[in-house]
Structure 1
Amino acid sequence: MSVAKKQYKRITVKTLVDMKAKGEKISMLTAYDYTMAKIVDGAGIDVILVGDSASNVMAGHETTLPITLDHMIYHASSVVRAVERALVVVDLPFGSYQSDPKEALRSAIRIMKESGGHAVKLEGGKEVKDSIKRILNAGIPVMGHLGLTPQSIYKFGTYTVRAKEDEEAEKLKEDALMLERAGCFSIVLEKIPAKLAQEVAESVSIPVIGIGAGKGVDGQVLVLHDMIGMTHEFNPRFLRRYMNLYEDMTNAISQYAKDVKSVDFPNDDEQY
Structure 2
Amino acid sequence: MNRHLLRLSVMGLGLTAASCAATKQSLQRLASVEVAQSVKENVREFSQCDRLKADISFQEEYDLGGAVALSWVRKGGGLMLANTSEKQLHQYLNTVGRNLAAQSSRPTLRWTFGALQDPETFNATSAPGGYVFLTRRLLQDVDNEAQLAGVLAHEIAHITLKHALHSYGGFRVKQCQVGAWTPDTPLLGEALDKGSEWVISHIAKGFDKDDEFAADALALHLLVSAGYEPTEYTGFIGKIPESTGITSTHPKKPERLKRMVAVLEKAKTPSDGFSEWPTGMQGLVKPPLPPALTALKASSPPATK
Q: Say which structure is richer in strand.
A: 1
- TM-score norm. by structure 2 comes to 0.25
- Greater RCO between the two (CA within 8 Å, min separation 6)? 2
- TM-score for both structures, normalised by structure 1: 0.27
More helix by share: 2
